[in-house]
Structure formats: C-alpha cells, structure tokens
Structure 1
Amino acid sequence: MSNQMTWQIKAGQQMGKNEASIEMFKKGSEGAISALVRENVQNSLDVVEDPSQPVRVEFKIDYVNELPGQDELSSIYDKIKNSKPWNGAYNEDIEKIQNILNMNKIPILKVSDFNTTGAAGAADYDEFGAGTSWKAMTEVNGQTLKSQSDSAGSFGIGKNANRAVTPLQLMFFTSQTAKDIHPYSQGWMIYASIVDRNANPQVSGNSFFYKTVDNKPIDHELEEFKNMGARTQPGTDIFIPGIDLTPDFINHIKKALLENFLVSIETNKLTVSIDNQGDEQTISSTNLSEIVAEFGSEDIKSYYNALTQKDSQMIFSMPTFEYKGQTLVEPGDVVFKVFQSDSVKGTRKAMLTRGIGMKINNYPEKGRAFTQGIDFTAVLLVTGRKANELLHNIENPEHTSWNNADKLKSFPAARKLFEGLKSFMRESITSLLPEATEEIVAYGLEELLVDPSLSSGDKVADRLPVHIANIEIKKTVKPISRKRSNGPIGSGTGGEGVPKPKEGGKLVEKKNVKPGLQRNPVSTGDEGDQYIDVTPYMSSVRSKYVNAVHSVEIYPDVSIKNPEMIFEIVGDSSTDTKFNILHAKVSKQGVAVEASENSIKLISDDMPFNVGEPIVVNFETDTDNDVSFNVKVIGKVNNEN
C-alpha cells in the first residue's frame, strides 16, 4: 500500500451542490447544531461495545494550522467555481470557503466516541467488494451496516448533519476496531461536480475523497490533527473543519443533548464530554440534575421530573400486548412515567423514547390527545426488543416520528403497536383523574379570570376554588352556535354527512323553509345587504378526509355573497386546543380565499353563490388526526332576493 496521499477526482454524473440529505439537516426544525449532536450521539449509541458501561462521546473544539491536502482541496473548489454549467452560482460560497482555508488557524470540531466498536473494513478495503461499516461511514450515502435491527439510525444519511454546519461540506474520519493494529483515516467532501471539456475526467462526481494514490484508506492518523489527541482504543473520530464558533455554540450542544438524550444520560447509557480548547465539562447521570437546572427549558425540567419519578402510583407498565397471535409487548417492555405538580404547569404531552433512550418526539405532536381536566408531564420508555424493531420500521429518516401514513400501511403489526401505545398512555392519564374535590380544574382560563386579591395584571393559577366571587370579565368570547340543521360534518351516512335531497336528479328547495332576514342576524352591510347566520338554510353538508386534506361541500338554500365558514371541533370546549386552517382553497374560479385560525372567508361580491350551488372548500389543519367539526356559515344576503 502506498503512503502517498491525495484528493481524488473521479468521473461521475454532473451534479449541483444542493445534496438533498445535507439540505434536510440545514433546514430542519432542530437547527443544524442540534441535528449534528443528535445524529452523532445516536450513531455512537448504536455501536456500543460493552452494554454494561456507558458510551462516552466527546465534543472537542480546537484550531489547526492547515487541513490534510489543503492545496489540492483549494484547487478543487476553484475548479468547481469555474465550471461553466454553474453560471457563477457558487462564486460567493466558494470565496467564503477560500477565506476559511487562508486562515492562520482553522476552527475544528472533533466528535469522538469510546466504548464503541469502531468502523470495520478499512484494513482489507476493496472498492468493488462487499459493503462494510467503514465504507458506509466514509464514502457511501444512504447505506448503513449496523448489526442491530432496532438501531436508532439505519438510513445512512445522518453523517450529512456534520456537513450542514460547515461551508466546506467536508469531514475527515479516523477509526479503529479491536482487530485493527492501528487506526485508519480518510477524508470526504461533497459539493458540486467539476465540469471541464479539457480535463480528465471531463465531468466529475460531486464526492471527493482524500485517500492513498492507490485508492485505499490511509493506514494511520492524520498528522494535521495530532494536537487534538491520538486514538488509542477502538472507536471513531470525526473532524469537521470550518465551523462557525458563535458564543452560544457550546450551549447549543448542551441544550441539544438535554432535548434528545435526557433518558440516555439518566439511565447511564451515555456520558458526554465537551472540551473547548482545554475547558472541559462532563455530563453524566451523576450531575444531570444540575445541567438540567442550568440549561434545560421549562419543558425539559418537567420531562426530567417525570423521568426521575419514584412514586409507584405514577409509574405504569404496559400489559402484554398481542397481535394475530404474536406477542409484541411483554410486561416491563414499555413503562410510562407521569409527573404532576401544583406549582408547575405541565406540558400535557409525553416524550416518546425507545431503545437507546433517544427522544423520537412528543405525543401528541399537535392538538390534544389526553382527557381534559388533568395537568401532567410524562415520558414513555420503550425498551423491549420486539417493540423497538417494529417502531423502527415506521420511523422517518430523521427518527423524529412514528406517525408516517405510508409506513403505517406497510407494517400492520407496527401500526397496531403504535395504536396500542397511544391507548395505553391515554388510559394511564385518565386513571389519574381526581375524584370530586373542593376545586375545579380550569385549564386555559387564567387569561380570563382574575383573583381580586392579586395585583393588577397578575394571573390566577389553573386551579380555582368552587366558591368564586367577584369575577371580573377580562375578555368575552362569542362561542360558535351549535345550532345546525344537518349534524356535525362527517357524521352522516357512510361518513359523507347528510345527502342532498334530489328529485329527478335535481336539487329540491325545502318547502317549509322561508328564508327571512329576521332570523339570526349578525351584522348589517351596505344598503340592501345584510350579513346573517345562514347555517339553518343549508340543504346539506358533505365532507371527506383524504391524505390529511379536508374537503367540505355546503349547499345553500339562499343566494349568498362572501360566505364565511367557522369550524369548531366537535366536543371541544377547551380554550387550549385551538387549531389553525392551512392551505385553504375553493373550487369556484375568481373567488378569493382568506383563512384565519378556524375560519375560511370567501370573497365573492361579484359572483354570489346561488341557491343549490355547492360551496366546495379544501383545507388542511394543524390538528394531529382526522376530526369531526361543527360548522357555522355567515353570509351576505341581498334583500331583493
């Protein structure tokens, strides 16, 4: 094997800079630093060597004088910049990169793990041979070779979270297994293709590798990074150059650890060291409570209280759960821990975790799922092997949701398990409902009710005494009328609401209905016009729900302009479960749509909806599931009609 190292430019398909798996982490809701923490720690936890001991992950920040093969690397960026097909699109970005390469000290983030297996396959590397964990880590996108089927990561794109935090989109690897006699190293940069008719190759791929001249991994550590510590035991080091070291960089790492790995740290599966140029801090189960108190959000503090709950009456174990003769959950496989406090308002959500303890998301993601009248914060711990395998099957690539419609259809056992988990959590919370006491729980009313003993502007707590006097009305809210002629949307025959009355295929006006403006007046418009509640004058209402889109058809018995539809979730009288209408559309051409919170207004001054003409709207909501609505319709009716 040659010891000479070089950046390799290989022929490939012409590709631009915007690699989808990198952009996903740049634009994710977590933020690029949080995604980096989540993906790297998850990858380390998935390859633990000794499960009886915690995995240790180290984030180390330092500076180096130059990068491996820096002159060649700079030349590659310039060749990309000068490639004509890109029409100068990358000029500004590459100028920033060259400025970083020209620094006297280049910032580096090193992410290392210990008590892990390391990436196997470098010692007997064969470009055309079988896949290995070394290849999956250092040169293949979308592949992973983790040994456990319930591993948290298995899509092979998490490593691109590292590229999302540096303009260079570059990282270097060093890894060693127990069988290797020394570490192996390699570099990998993803950007855009070099396109040059006079070059060989004329078109490169968008991946560039720092290897030996005979296309092998480098059989030692990289000299340029020696001041950041040597690899002396199995595990992996990842070097990410050119990061932007903002003043909050370290705090972002700490907050991301608490947000995603609270359970892993508390259960002693993980310890983390953060070394900022010699200033080192360790986070482990022994000092986690202090870190949570200093850096945790109010929600994280509540989840930590639930996780450390010791009261057996607030800890629930899911009973045996079977599906088609197959046991999916055995006693002890799923534990639900609940925290309640009279002094701290709960999240009314459950943090969902599994296996290694990494957070998936919070349930419900939107809207409400648990019974009203009880305040709480909870953590769900799924530790059983079979349950983990099934839930892994329905996770999205970012590992942040089990609620993926296509995957739920493809894995019926996993779908049944997910439904069972939700039922188990809801039933556990319902069992905590208090018996009749001297208090009324009034969640969400603290904005409306004022305790006269408090200073002006102070809010009362959610729990209010039964005997209330001198209530000052701070705000009045006119509720949506529940009076309707055809029942809630979605409640009719076959789920389609009340069918339209027909006679010979034509609409028939109700003989006993005589529209009159004296009924349910709302407000007066211009001369000859008046807005009224026209809900009683709807001959039928139909609805359907397909692929998260609600479609509603309303057939009026009066000719109306500018109809406004106001929706309310059936049975929902709580002020803390508001929903918003999204992406509203109307089928009638030339009619403008205005959507605000739970209402849709159609601007149709010049083209009224005539008697029997359907008003058809399609919309989405930010609620978690399909729901049934009450609907109220207000419209402008011309007196001459």
Structure 2
Amino acid sequence: MSSGELGWHFPPTGGGVAMGYNDPGIAHFGGAREQSLARETIQNSLDAAASIGTPVDVAFELQVREDDWFAKRELAATIQRCLTEAKARQDDKASQAFEEAAQLLGKTRLTFLRVADWHTTGLRGEKWDALLKRPGVSVHDQRGAGGSWGIGKNAPFTLSPLRTVFYWTRFEENGRAHERFQGKAVLMAHESGGEERQSTGFFGLVDGCRAVDGETIPSAVRGVESGGGQRSGTSLWIAGFREQDGWQERIARRVAASFFGAIRDGTLTVTIEPSEGMQARELIDIKADNLEEWFDYLQQGSDAAQDDEDDDIDDAHRFWELLQGEPTAERQDHDLGHCRLWVTVSDDAALPSKVGLMRKTGMLITTRQPGLIRFRGMRDFIAICRFEGDEGNELLRKMENPRHDQFEPERIENDPKEEQRGRAALKRISDWIREEIRKVAAPDVPMEAARLSELDRLLPDVAPEEPFGGDSGDGDEREPSFGAAPVVKLKPRRRPPAPVPPDPVEYDDGDPGEDTELTATTNREGSVAEPESVYSTSHTSQKRKRLLIDDVRLVPVQGGANRFRVSFRARESGVADIVLAEAGDSTLVSRDDVRASQDGVTFPLTGVELRPADRVEFEITAGSPLGERAWVVSAVVPEMP
C-alpha cells in the first residue's frame, strides 16, 4: 500500500465493536431531514464566523456530476459487501437501503447537495478531527457557541442514500491559506480481505485514513470551491441527494423560523437553489432586506401536511416583527448576563401567547420552555427574550438538549452545583419574564379573567409539562411525577357491600343557580365551589361536609384509551370519598361509572385519607368515554352509618 494512494479505507474492527446499519447518531435526525440539516449546519456556520460585522454566507445548491472523482467503483464494491452481510443477517431495512445505494452508483450521473459557507474560519486541527472522526465531540472557539453535543454532524447523512458525505475546507494558518478534503461513509460492519471491517470508512489517503491537501484534492471539487476565491469556509457534499418536491421550501422554512434573529442582525445570509415558486417570486437569497417577502411566500405556501412547520413560520414572523421595536424590558442577571425582552399584546388579532427564547447568535431555541407555557387569564400576547452575554450563553449551551429545542438543567452532568446554578437561573429568568408579561397583558376586567382561569383548572390539561403552583411557575414540580411534594397514591381498598351513590350536595357558599354555564365561581376559602350536583338517586338532599382541596389537574394518559390522571392537593385532614362530576349546561352530573385504576386493577374512590399539603394522584377510567369535558373534583366526607 502506497502512502500516497487515494481511495476508500474501512479499518479492521480488530475484535472491537462491529456496528450495524442502525447508527443512533443518524437515526436521531431521521424525521425532518432537510429541516435538521438547515438548523445544524447553519448553527455551525454562525459559531465559526470569521469576524464581527461581516455576515456569514451559507448556500444550499445542487451539483450533478458524471466524472468518477471519488473512487465510485470502490465504494460500490464495499456497498455490495454490506448488502451481502445485511441479507445474511436478514436485516430487511439495511438490505433495501444498500440495494438502492447500489442502483444509484450504477448510474452515470450522481446528484450532490452542496452546503457551503463563507466568511467563516474554516476547520483546522481538532475541529476537523471532531467533525469527521470523533463522535459525540464538539469543539468551538467561541464561548457560548451553539452546538454542545457533537451530534449535529450526523444530520447530513440522513439525506444521502449512500450514507456518504464529502468535506472541504479552506482556513488561514501562519499567514497562509490551506485547503483540506476528505470523504466519509457510514455503512455497516462487513467482511473484506478475510477480516471484519468497521462500518465507517474514509475517502482520502488510504494510509492512516488521512485527508488530502492542496493540489491533491480532486479537481472536480477544487473547480467548484475555487469560485469563492481565497475566502475561508467549509463545504459539505451530500452524495446521492434525492430531489423530493418542496425540499427548497422546507429548508427555507427552517432557516426563517430558526434564524430570523441572525438574518435581521445582518450576520447571516442564506442562498437556496430556487424552486419554480421561488423563481417566480425572484426569491433566492434570504437576507435582512427581503425577509418580509420570504415570510409572505412561505406562509402562502402552507398546507395541512405541515401544521407544525406552519405554526413555526407564523410564530417566527410575529417574533421578527416584534424585534423591529425597542425592548419592553431589560435585565442584567448575574448568571445569564444581559437579557432583553420584547412583548406585545392584542385584543383584535389572535396571538398565540408564546414566549420565544433566543441565543446570542440569533438562533431561536424554543417556544415551549417549561415555566413559560401556561398563562391563565392573560390577554393574547407574544414575547421573545434574547440572551446577549457570553457567560450566560455558555451556561445555556450546557443546558441545551441535543435537538437544540429546549433548556434542561439536568443536561449538566457530574456537576451538581452548576446544575443547580442553571436551574436557579432559568427559574429566575422565567419569573421575570412572567412578571413583565403580566404588566402588559393583564386583563382589563380582573373578575372575568379570574373566572376563565378557574374554568381552565377544570378542563383536561393540555400542557402537562408545566410546573405546578399556579401562574407564577414557582417550584420545580413537573409531571409525570406530579412533583417533589409528598404524594399519596390511592391503593385498592375493600368496599362495603351495596354502596349507595352520594346524595345531592348542597353548599353553604352562594346561590347554586349562578355562574353555572361553563364557568366556576370561587368561594371565600379560595377553592372552586360547584353548583348543585344532580345524581340519579331518590335520596333527600342534605348538607354534606367536604374537605378543602385545590391545585386540581386532569391530564390525559398517553397511550391509554379513556384514561386520565387526576391530581390535587389536600388542605384539610380527614377521610373522604372522591367525587367526580361532569359539567352540563346548568348542572353537575355525577359519573358513577368513573373508577380509579392502578396496575390494571379498578377500585372505587372511597375512604381516601387526606393530610394537609399532600398531593393525591390516581388514574381514572370509565365505562363510557370521558372526553374533553369540564370536571369538578370534590372530597366529600362519607355519611356515618
């Protein structure tokens, strides 16, 4: 083997791990492929910006090649060996994938999706090695840079039927420009030359799986990349890219939805191979002075199959408009640094009542951060908070999950103090955001807002990931555990023979005929007071004592048909029967068919021992559908025999 031989090399396993076709890093991005590619690659480009004041340019374009510049026959032979291995293992998914790959390599022409950036630092040293040869490793020059898990590098492979990507970069070192090139294929372990080979192989200098430099880079690649002059940058060539209808719009949607902040700042410009629709509108570059036109085009092109994407682009458009004005409030946090918040409300146009959190780079991370989802009783609003400080962004980077769509303090591993610092910082900033929103979005008629808030507590919970503790988001109690406070779980109990349904309940507070149409009133103790319940029984009405409970939650059980999870806090001690009543037009109707369910056993909700501050939780099921109705939960003291 010549030390200068150019070709493919899959190193022997040497008795080590032999990976199959299902690579977890690639599978992580198997859903929204084009969208993941755009989000991950542009984030990396922004992190590698060469200088302040010069925008990073990113391009998505097609390259159709007929020449064999990457040892196509050699790669095809390896794919055939992988196909043989997959069939021997009866791996249908891998077999189908390798058959498609073999057919593509048998054609004269092959399409590549080239993703290129300029005005970046390029990749040298450990950054190049981290990209190609170090799974799970992320290296950045800047504090607070976006990526932290080293997983995003797998996103391009999801768009290659050959599971093959080529990398080119130009960088400056010691006053001189350098170019580097290498290919990478992620297939499956296979037999070759009488020994087992690793699933991952490299195109370049065979000896040592090394990259090629300068003049030894294939001319087909250098000819394209030289169009950027001597500017530093990086390009990915995704081999065998399938041109599925609408791929350009899907990339454009993700660019606009995630990076509108960077585009507005003038730090990012994106060029996309134009579709027919884009050509008709003369839209090619996404930049600060035409982003409004892009929003208009992408929102008009929405369809029912893209509901989530449609919501994202609608939200981004509103956030972008909001950023045109001055911040509503600013704060200097000792952990998160300088934070700027924009809020707007509307009584005319429906706003989604969402809060966006944006990193310093101008990338929107999330609109679903726990503690900033439920805003009961507020007027419609939209808000966005941007974190400007380097140290604060470094802390946020540590808490960012692998999908870059939420901050999770528990992601900070092996450092309890830093995890607690991150948790406290998120709690502090969430409280501040909620308070600022309350200042501008509080309703003009507090009583009406309070009534709607109480009604919201009766409805099945649509945001179970939110903390308990009311609107403030206090505490760190999240489902499915229902919180860190003591929890009383119901246990199956023997029920006395021939149980009698509860009698109609009369309450001491207020006229039961008032406020019964899809609203609830609040009694002087602060708990929900129900109108008179109607039971299918002939017993005479009489006063019945009930124990005070509050913070009632009803959550659908995922994967469970006709099942809900119920939780509440007790405010008094005693033994009570738990009564669930369904709200009708003007009455509450008891549901005698509702029973508790635990470990596959159903049992009546009777004789439950309650203690102050305990949280009681249980699942319920019923003979007829529960549905999305309004409920009243009461703890009624049983009658003495």
TM (norm. structure 1) is 0.68
Q: Is the 8 A contact 2:372 2:434 kept in 1?
A: no
Asked if the contact 1:351/1:378 (under 8 Å) is kept, the reply is: yes
Q: Secondary structure at the match of 1:11?
A: coil
Cα displacement string for residues 153-212 of structure 1 (whole angstroms, at most 9, x for unaligned residues): 12212110001122222100011111254421100011210146xx34x22211110011
RMSD, aligned CA: 4.8
CA contact (8 A) 2:328 2:342 kept: yes
1:91-170 map, 5 Å: 91-121=95-125, 132-170=126-164
Q: Distance in 1 between matches of 2:549 and 2:423?
A: 35
- Size of the aligned set, in residue pairs, is 513
C-alpha distance in structure 2 between counterparts of 1:285 and 1:44, whole Å? 17
Q: Distance between the aligned counterparts of 1:310 and 1:610, measured in 2?
A: 55
Shift of 1:11: 1.2
Q: Distance in 1 between matches of 2:288 and 2:12?
A: 50
8 Å contact 1:507–1:612 — kept in the other structure? no
In the alignment, is the contact (CA less than 8 A) between 2:458 and 2:552 conserved in 1? no
What SS does structure 2 have at the residue aligned with 1:143?
Answer: coil
Is the 8 Å Cα contact of residues 376 and 456 (structure 2) preserved in structure 1? no
- Corresponding residue for 1:275? 273
Mind listing any 5+ residue stretches in structure 2 that lack a counterpart?
300-309, 461-468, 471-476, 478-483, 506-532, 559-564, 584-594, 611-615, 621-630
Q: Which residue of 2 aligns with 1:207?
A: 200
1:348-497 paired onto structure 2 within 5 Å = 348-364=353-369, 368-405=373-410, 407=412, 410-433=418-441, 436=444, 495-496=485-486
The Cα offsets for residues 521-561 of structure 1, whole Å up to 9 and x where unpaired, read as: 76659xxx99x9xx97899999999xx99896999867xxx
The worse-fitting range, judged by mean Cα deviation, of 70-79 and 356-365 is 356-365
8 Å CA contact 2:457, 2:553 repeated in 1 = no
For residue 318 of structure 1, give the secondary structure of its aligned residue in structure 2: strand
Q: Distance in 1 between matches of 2:34 and 2:596?
A: 37
What is the distance in 2 between the residues matched to 1:497 and 1:183? 62
Residue 518 of structure 1 deviates from its aligned partner by 3.5
Distance 1:277 1:67 in 2: 28
1:224 is displaced (CA, Å) by: 4.0
Does the C-alpha gap of structure 1 residues 346 and 219 become closer, same or farther in structure 2, counting only changes over 3 Å?
A: same
2:287 partner letter: S
Cα 1:334–1:4, aligned 2, differ >3 Å: closer, same or farther? same
Judging changes above 3 Å, is the alpha-carbon distance between structure 1 residues 415 and 523 closer, same or farther for their aligned structure 2 residues?
same
Give matches, 1:233-632, under 5 Å. 233-276=231-274, 281-296=284-299, 297=310, 300-309=313-322, 315-321=327-333, 327-330=334-337, 333-364=338-369, 368-405=373-410, 407=412, 410-433=418-441, 436=444, 495-496=485-486, 517-519=502-504, 586-589=597-600, 591=601, 602=602, 617=618, 631=633
Letter of the structure 2 residue corresponding to residue 261 of structure 1: F
Q: Distance in 1 between matches of 2:489 and 2:74?
A: 72
2:26 matched residue in structure 1:
22
Change over 3 Å in CA distance of 1:227–1:295 after alignment to 2: farther
2:78 corresponding residue in structure 1 = 76
8 Å Cα contact 1:82-1:88 kept in structure 2: no
Residues 633 and 237 (structure 1), Cα distance of their counterparts in 2 relative to 1, 3 Å cut: same
**Larger displacement relative to structure 2 (35-44 or 83-92):** 83-92
Identity among equivalent positions (%) equals 20
The answer to whether the Cα contact below 8 Å between 1:7 and 1:73 also exists between their aligned partners in 2 is yes
Deviation at 1:519, TM superposition (A): 2.9
**How far 1:344 sits from its partner (Å)?**
2.4
How big is each residue's C-alpha offset from its partner over 1:115-155, in whole Å with a ceiling of 9 and x where there is no partner?
1111113xxxxxxxxxx111112222111221123110122
Q: Which runs of 5+ in 1 are unaligned?
A: 122-131, 322-326, 446-475, 482-487, 501-505, 569-583, 592-601, 620-628
Q: Quickly say closer, same or farther: Cα 1:588–1:329, change in 2 above 3 A.
A: closer
Quick one: structure 1 residues 177 and 398, their matched pair in 2 at CA, closer, same or farther if it must change by over 3 Å? Answer: same
Deviation at 1:345, TM superposition (A): 1.2
Call closer, same or farther: CA 1:113–1:288 in 2, change over 3 Å.
same
Per the alignment, do residues 507 and 41 of structure 1 end up closer, same or farther by CA in structure 2, a change over 3 Å counting?
Answer: same
Q: Which moved more, 1:610-619 or 1:514-523?
A: 610-619
The 2-side partners of 1:33 and 1:96 are apart by 20
Q: Distance in 1 between matches of 2:35 and 2:357?
A: 18
CA shift in 2, pair 1:633/1:188, >3 Å: farther
The residue type paired with residue 598 of structure 2 is S
